[in-house]
Structure 1
């Protein structure tokens, strides 16, 4: 009988010298002891190794950063697929999950692979199989040929100036992070006059400008240095360059940056700069979801119709969402909603009600207006639900408004 070759005991630093982090929640003492012995020897920083269920994983990591590798045990879970889907909802794309269990079942294995699990191992797990599974999950060995988990790029474009595109980016991003537990990156593509950092009370740097004007610099280290942290799950890339020194950037540079960010965030929401129409249209065409923000004026309806026509001329079926922002009290010159839908050739998906005073106060305080229980919050909740793929308005009942001290 051939002797099993023991896995090599060696550390694997990442490109920037940092060790890969791992956590494990298991159901029995033997597996716990095995992981406590082997993971540190294999060069993993262990955030947690102990007994626990999937629900405890979700509880522990709903409000803090997850390790790169997550090992979970479903041997005592009655509804493993349901609980794993709940875990997947809060896992950023960069996190890979290795599942342990007791059922040697091909159907279960296929179901787990379909929801994005990296590997499924039957206990008791030989050390060499465990080594290869964890190494694949951390990127140290080539992964099996499966579709990689990637985040969704969303381009938000104000069809006219001052219609509320930045407000839409900020409030929708905050809800995705705080109401839906997603990891979100906001990107202000207006490098000279963007107001997203201002609205969030953050000081912009030159980092985003450097990345877009010299895309060869797009790597994990440089992107991390350019990133501003608004909250644990809300990050920002924004610059404020001098008008005289501002250099143009290409849509290809934006696409390259989006590709890099997709592996780290559930959603990358871009506040598209209207000042360079050709680049802006390409950014819109490249995005997974295009959100067009307009007001009910005739000029806004005209421009929305032109952009929708351009986007619908593409091959493929990327999503377009039309947001009507009632940014002023109703006037006699407003175009009725039914005429907007007919003229633009697209239904109005979201209507943001008139909330001038509350929006102005939220802007002054550098905080999202959706912290409050007001009608405008329901509109942005509906938009966030559309981005996630859930139809209808999310109810405010049962949600802890004022989260994080709001």
Structure 2
């Protein structure tokens, strides 16, 4: 990030980066007690637990020490009562898997663990799964499944020593159906115990302290598709009201991610009737996002590649038809399925959401990894942005709050809400403030180009790159400088 003295976006407040703060890895090792030598080498005569995959067997139990906690951003200082485990955990910058439609039974020995599992079950990534939480721990699970079928995943917590833990797991193995995965939550971070549990077919062993994201990611890893190399980070841009420039910023952001950050990016224009992505990139594709939405079950990588248009070496565009010949009555399930499939096409997927509010827009917005709310400094934008941010915070308690971009600041003769007051009213300080400068925007729109192409040194172009660095958690590759004499020695 640029020093404060040279920051063109500094208007007298801190544009805090709440996405880059958090605690270290909570997989902290405690002092492990030694195993009882009477435990010995155990055999699993039942084979009810599925054999561990090579990936699962290779997972170590010890984790690196936590990183020092960084200073909390200004947004985080809003007084909201929440358990300590809600602190965000730094991630790799890519998206996270959505848990498939499975049934999870959790048998917890501690009330705190039961509350944590229930909190994780309400997360957006667990929306498809059905979770049942019961008290009693591992012993209660053994009794419950004496006359009940086991679900897709059984999560059991045990406070017992190693010998009794393995004895109860033997009993659970006798009543487990084939194909059921078992995750054990224990108190002992012991490598010998971990290896014995994995050898017996336990899918994962977690130790306290835990967080909801820790549980979600552990479950997601068990059902990850090995043929999928990554899940792209989905970034949704939405305007607090019409005309604030959300689409323009989304298009320029996607271009900057591809050209400046040099990472493969897909831009999806979901404004089916009035989308402008095709105009902004000077493209008129035959197929686009509407074709994908009308046949989501047929959308595979080959068909997806035919529907997208290339706007460069790293940027692909899913354009909107931008016609009024159809009512576009498409269900929310189709939007969710298509956007989930597109996330496998590139590390970053940018969604240009129209200023509408219905079932599909709400689901796509809440299901995105990052949300950028674009507003102008007026009362209508303030009201709408607050409603949106409050909704997202309530529905996504384990995620960082949305990012706020204030656009068109400083229009001559227009009364405006001060930037500092605008951020304080929302509890989220803007990540980016862009001044009113219509010339580069108009020139880029009329030429079918991006801001960085027509005015690379403008505050608008620099601001979009600043936002790209914040969201991608990366810096652009250094520009290779060439000598002015190098051209004289090129081979002819």
Measured against the shorter chain, the TM-score band is 0.5 to 0.7
Runs of 5+ in structure 2 lacking a partner? 1-91, 97-223, 482-492
CA contact (8 A) 2:265 2:315 kept: yes
Instruction: Give deviations 1:150-180, integer Å, cap 9, x for gaps.
Output: 2100110011111111111111111111111
Q: Which residue matches 2:431?
A: 349
Q: Which residue matches 2:457?
A: 373
CA contact (8 A) 1:204 1:239 kept: no
How much does 1:276 deviate?
4.2
Q: Which residue matches 2:399?
A: 317
Counterparts of 1:144 and 1:235, CA distance in 2:
24
How much does 1:335 deviate?
0.6
Counterparts of 2:325 and 2:390, CA distance in 1:
35
Q: 1:189 aligns with which of 266, 270, 279?
A: 270
**Pairwise CA RMSD of aligned residues?**
3.1
Counterparts of 1:214 and 1:165, CA distance in 2:
28
Q: TM-score, normalised by structure 2?
A: 0.49
CA contact (8 A) 2:260 2:477 kept: no
Q: TM-score, normalised by structure 1?
A: 0.59
CA contact (8 A) 1:206 1:241 kept: no
Q: Which residue matches 1:215?
A: 296
| Matching of residue 229 in structure 1 with residue 229 in structure 2 | no
Q: Secondary structure at the match of 1:387?
A: helix
CA 1:277/1:297 → structure 2, altered by over 3 Å: closer, same or farther? farther
How much does 1:353 deviate?
2.1
Q: Which residue matches 1:360?
A: 442
Structural mapping, 1:150-229, within 5 Å:
150-229=231-310
Q: Which residue matches 2:21?
A: none
Q: Which residue matches 1:270?
A: 351
CA 1:144/1:321 → structure 2, altered by over 3 Å: closer, same or farther? closer
| Matching of residue 389 in structure 1 with residue 473 in structure 2 | yes
Counterparts of 1:399 and 1:374, CA distance in 2:
22
CA contact (8 A) 2:296 2:337 kept: yes
Q: Which residue matches 2:361?
A: 280
Structural mapping, 1:38-53, within 5 Å:
none
Counterparts of 2:228 and 2:314, CA distance in 1:
24
Instruction: Give deviations 1:194-219, integer Å, cap 9, x for gaps.
Output: 11111110004343112113322221
| Matching of residue 336 in structure 1 with residue 418 in structure 2 | yes
How much does 1:261 deviate?
2.1
Counterparts of 1:284 and 1:223, CA distance in 2:
22
Counterparts of 2:472 and 2:458, CA distance in 1:
22
Counterparts of 1:243 and 1:332, CA distance in 2:
34
Of stretches 303-312 and 216-225 in structure 1, the one that deviates more from structure 2 is 216-225
How much does 1:242 deviate?
3.6
Q: Secondary structure at the match of 1:287?
A: coil
How much does 1:332 deviate?
4.3
Runs of 5+ in structure 1 lacking a partner? 1-88, 94-142, 401-406
Instruction: Give deviations 1:368-401, integer Å, cap 9, x for gaps.
Output: 11231111122111110111125xxx7999588x
CA 1:380/1:304 → structure 2, altered by over 3 Å: closer, same or farther? same
| Matching of residue 239 in structure 1 with residue 311 in structure 2 | no
Q: Secondary structure at the match of 2:372?
A: strand
CA contact (8 A) 1:295 1:326 kept: yes
CA contact (8 A) 1:164 1:327 kept: no
Q: 1:254 aligns with which of 329, 335, 350?
A: 335
Q: Which residue matches 1:297?
A: 378
CA 1:153/1:319 → structure 2, altered by over 3 Å: closer, same or farther? farther
Counterparts of 2:305 and 2:328, CA distance in 1:
22
Of stretches 325-334 and 149-158 in structure 1, the one that deviates more from structure 2 is 325-334
Q: Which has the larger radius of gyration?
A: 2
CA 1:272/1:382 → structure 2, altered by over 3 Å: closer, same or farther? same
Which structure has more relative contact order (CA 8 Å, sep 6+)? It is 2
CA contact (8 A) 1:321 1:349 kept: yes
CA 1:228/1:254 → structure 2, altered by over 3 Å: closer, same or farther? same
CA 1:216/1:241 → structure 2, altered by over 3 Å: closer, same or farther? farther
Q: Secondary structure at the match of 1:190?
A: coil
Counterparts of 1:295 and 1:224, CA distance in 2:
36
Of stretches 355-364 and 143-152 in structure 1, the one that deviates more from structure 2 is 143-152
